Structure 1
Amino acid sequence: MKIQQETQLFQAVVDLPLGKIGVRTEAGKIAELCYLPPHFDAKAPQDAVAEIAVHQLRRYCDDADYVFDLPLCTVGTPFQQRVWDAIRSIPRGSVRTYGELASHLGSVPRAVGQACGANWFPVVIPCHRVTAATGLGGFSRSDDPNGYLLGIKRWLLAHEGSSEYAWQQTTLL
């Protein structure tokens, strides 16, 4: 019963090579994209905006150079939006550390990490391109005991052509 209730939160649940993503829409825009644990069942799009999102997510999985053009709700604080804009500027196949982004933004790594964690539109705002100075970092939560989120991050970085060596040899924006 709980899984069915959780699935009802989304207008679509798409099963992709990286894992499952829930699509929540509101007033003709994408309100949230959410990485979901493997136990979620796929759910066909329930509205036109969810259908567009599912189509674009699939296109991205077929082509890492695909550029998203989704109507996104405006969310986040001004600082979070600055961080997300900086993340969007990281080219495919590249990564930056939390510290590098923080330095670029005149902030601190922890604040950048919190803004990454507050990203309502993962993949579209590619927070997977931000890593810890010592490795992958991020994408870890207490409610992810099996590590599906880190698996998603690894898939996304590999899909975009990042190598493990490159993750540790980054330069500032």
Structure 2
Amino acid sequence: MKAASLNSPVGPLTIWEDAGSITRLEWGKSDETTETLLLCDTVRKLKLYFSGALENFSAPLAPGGTAFQEKFYAALCAIPYGETRTYGDIAQDLDVSAQAIGQACGANPIPILIPCHRVLAANGLGGFSGAGGVEAKVALLKLEGAASLLI
């Protein structure tokens, strides 16, 4: 697989491409870097997002997974920039438990681009699988202007 890294306000990130789609986003820098059109464009879009100049990502994403996971990723991508939903909201929409939604959020292979940080617990932030945990989630929500939802 091909990879590209960038520095961000939530730490160094690496995005991975395979067969013309983004397949992973991980915290940390990769020793392998490849300049493909897709990786360069995605790095550029992430930099715009972190500068506050981009609200919606458009890139071919291939997180893989089951039919449920595909529906789940689509539900996350439907949450508008600067807005949040609860695990329970999404669980009700997909007819599964809130716990299943929490587990699916934690297993999201392409965080930020598939915005699991926009999913909160009924009475709090919930968790976040990215490096920095909940602090990174708060930073992403603040960036999107959703911080008032946290009070």
Shorter-chain TM-score tier: 0.7 to 0.9
- In structure 2, the partner of 1:149 is 133
For 1:30, the aligned partner's letter is I
For 2:93, the aligned partner's letter is H
Measured at CA, do residues 87 and 41 of structure 1 come closer, stay the same or move farther in structure 2, by a change above 3 Å? closer
- Measure how far apart 1:163 and its partner are: 2.4
Say whether residues 1:136 and 2:125 are aligned partners: yes
Say whether residues 1:69 and 2:61 are aligned partners: no
Say whether residues 1:111 and 2:100 are aligned partners: yes
Measured at CA, do residues 15 and 115 of structure 1 come closer, stay the same or move farther in structure 2, by a change above 3 Å? same
Q: The residue matched to 1:24 in structure 2 has which SS?
A: strand
Give the conservation status (yes or no) of the 8 Å contact 1:45–1:54.
Answer: no
Match of 2:79 among 79, 90, 104: 90
Give the conservation status (yes or no) of the 8 Å contact 1:35–1:149.
Answer: no
Count of residues in Structure 1 that have an aligned counterpart in Structure 2 = 151
Uncovered stretches (5+) of structure 1, i.e. residues with no partner: 1-8, 169-173
1:34-60: CA deviations, max 9, x gaps?
Answer: 133xxx478765333221111111111
CA RMSD of aligned residues (A): 2.4
- In structure 2, the partner of 1:12 is 4
Provide the C-alpha distance between the structure 2 equivalents of 1:18 and 1:74, rounded to a whole number of angstroms: 21
For 2:4, the aligned partner's letter is A
Say whether residues 1:34 and 2:26 are aligned partners: yes
- In structure 1, the partner of 2:14 is 22
Provide the C-alpha distance between the structure 2 equivalents of 1:103 and 1:30, rounded to a whole number of angstroms: 28
Measured at CA, do residues 42 and 161 of structure 1 come closer, stay the same or move farther in structure 2, by a change above 3 Å? farther
Greater Rg by CA: 1
Uncovered stretches (5+) of structure 2, i.e. residues with no partner: none
Measured at CA, do residues 78 and 64 of structure 1 come closer, stay the same or move farther in structure 2, by a change above 3 Å? farther
- Measure how far apart 1:74 and its partner are: 5.2
Provide the C-alpha distance between the structure 1 equivalents of 2:136 and 2:2, rounded to a whole number of angstroms: 19
- Measure how far apart 1:11 and its partner are: 1.4
Identical columns (%): 37
Measured at CA, do residues 10 and 133 of structure 1 come closer, stay the same or move farther in structure 2, by a change above 3 Å? farther
Give the conservation status (yes or no) of the 8 Å contact 2:63–2:109.
Answer: no
Measured at CA, do residues 48 and 140 of structure 1 come closer, stay the same or move farther in structure 2, by a change above 3 Å? closer
Give the conservation status (yes or no) of the 8 Å contact 2:3–2:30.
Answer: no
Provide the C-alpha distance between the structure 2 equivalents of 1:14 and 1:161, rounded to a whole number of angstroms: 23
TM-score (norm 2): 0.85
